[in-house]
């Protein structure tokens, strides 16, 4: 990376000489001829040369304000001047090449919902010249000194070093392999001072959303040096706890659906008030037949905020009752999981619609469930 010669660029005497030499060289005069013509002292020649080279590169101008500060007109060009810095042009090229490399690790099915991946470094590199935090938004006479401008340029160089370190860190194929030992991947992130990207790195390479529990664990890895093996163990234990809790909840739901089917089994009428009264009596008020005030669809609430049949918008008790009986049959052979439950619901609904298609005009008599094993034994 090109070094910024602060000694030359902040030397007021050299800047005054350089202003005259700059006018000559822009008019077509040779640099050394201008040095002789302007009678620049020998001890300032190298400094003036540094200043002229910086001007030619586009990222520096001779200050034209009071006391060698940048004028209002120059203030409006400073961001553009920064964008011409050779180190920024170089990092933008490197970042574009890295993003091309990164494309080959895009998940085949696309990015999952809620994934927060590592930001595009090409965008980051392109925006460095627009993020000059030390540069005043409004011009004030005498405020923007050469020292301040050079500090702003050094800030951009520091950001370039960060981006370049990130590119080097992530330029190995195994850093994008979700099955590679995470402990080694995190060690490389730490080595290249990229631990601030840990959450995005995990989310992006594993193609999954991170919940608050995992984010807190990763914060402990970043700031309190929690071992990666401990993070993985705690995360696995939390996932197992949630799975056990979800399984227990669905087991409860399945038991309630079976109980509902037992109440509805053998109904002799589908009159809504009669069905509602029987549910209320047999369940002691736990199960309730409800009709939506929005679309008039029927459903049976068997648990707080959990209704059977709500999805399919049944209009009559006939279809809702037969759906509940079919659903009780379908869940007997599935695991107590949300996805398997949805599949059972779809199969039960298909059986209900088939019933209507097969006998569209037939009297709607209750459909008896097949007997449970315990009923067969009792018989």
Average pLDDT, the chain: 89
Q: Which residue do the tokens 């120059």 mark?
A: 74
Instruction: Determine the pLDDT at residue 362.
Output: 41
pTM of the predicted protein model = 0.76
Instruction: Determine the pLDDT at residue 377.
Output: 39
Q: Which residue do the tokens 């087991």 mark?
A: 251
Instruction: Determine the pLDDT at residue 186.
Output: 96
Collect all residues with Cβ–Cβ distance below 8 Å to 321 and sequence separation of at least 6. Answer: 264, 267, 270, 275, 366
Distances (CA, A) of 282 to 70, 109, 255, 275, 338: 87, 49, 15, 11, 27
The sign of the dihedral angle between the CA atoms of 45, 51, 52, 54 is positive
Residues of the chain with pLDDT under 50: 358-367, 373-379
Instruction: Determine the pLDDT at residue 357.
Output: 53
Distances (CA, A) of 192 to 161, 176, 198: 11, 16, 12
Instruction: Determine the pLDDT at residue 305.
Output: 82
Distances (CA, A) of 215 to 210, 235, 275: 6, 10, 49
Q: What count of Cα atoms within 13 Å lies in the side-chain half-sphere of residue 78?
A: 29
145 three-state secondary structure: strand
Instruction: Determine the pLDDT at residue 89.
Output: 95
CB atoms within 10 A of CB 216: 11
Instruction: Determine the pLDDT at residue 370.
Output: 52
Instruction: Determine the pLDDT at residue 374.
Output: 38
Report whether 318 contacts 326 (CB < 8 A). Answer: no
Collect all residues with Cβ–Cβ distance below 8 Å to 202 and sequence separation of at least 6. Answer: 182, 210, 214, 218
């Amino acid at each position: 990376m090109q070094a910024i010669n602060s000694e030359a660029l902040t030397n007021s005497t050299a800047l005054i000489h350089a202003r005259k030499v700059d006018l000559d060289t822009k008019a077509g005069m040779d640099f050394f001829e201008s040095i002789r013509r302007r009678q620049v002292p020998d001890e300032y020649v190298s400094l003036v040369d540094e200043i002229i080279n910086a001007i030619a590169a586009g990222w520096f101008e001779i200050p034209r304000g009071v006391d060698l500060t940048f004028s209002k007109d120059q203030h409006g060009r400073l961001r553009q001047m920064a964008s011409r810095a050779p180190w920024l042009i170089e990092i933008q090229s490197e970042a574009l090449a890295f993003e091309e490399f990164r494309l080959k690790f895009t998940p085949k099915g696309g990015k999952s919902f809620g994934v927060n991946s590592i930001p595009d470094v090409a965008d980051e590199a392109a925006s460095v010249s627009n993020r000059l935090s030390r540069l005043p938004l409004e011009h004030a006479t005498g405020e923007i000194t050469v020292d301040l401008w050079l500090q702003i340029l050094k800030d951009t160089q520091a950001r370039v070093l960060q981006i370049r370190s990130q590119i080097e860190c992530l330029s190995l194929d195994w850093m994008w392999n979700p099955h590679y030992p995470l402990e080694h991947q995190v060690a490389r992130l730490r080595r290249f001072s990229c631990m601030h990207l840990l959450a995005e790195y995990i989310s992006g390479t594993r193609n999954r959303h991170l919940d608050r529990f995992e984010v807190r664990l990763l914060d402990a890895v970043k700031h309190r040096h929690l071992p990666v093996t401990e993070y993985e163990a705690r995360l696995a234990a939390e996932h197992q706890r949630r799975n056990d809790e979800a399984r227990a909840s669905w087991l409860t739901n399945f038991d309630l659906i079976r109980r509902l089917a037992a109440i509805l089994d053998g109904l002799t009428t589908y009159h809504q008030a009669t069905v509602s009264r029987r549910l209320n009596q047999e369940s002691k008020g736990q199960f309730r037949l409800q009709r939506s005030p929005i679309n008039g669809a029927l459903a049976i609430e068997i648990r707080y905020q959990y209704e059977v049949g709500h999805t399919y918008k049944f209009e009559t008790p006939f279809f809702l009752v037969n759906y509940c009986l079919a659903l009780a049959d379908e869940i007997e052979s599935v695991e107590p999981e949300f996805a398997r439950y949805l599949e059972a619901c779809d199969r039960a609904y298909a059986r209900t619609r088939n019933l209507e298609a097969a006998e569209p005009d037939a009297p709607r008599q209750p459909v008896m469930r097949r007997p449970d094993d315990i009923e067969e034994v009792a018989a």
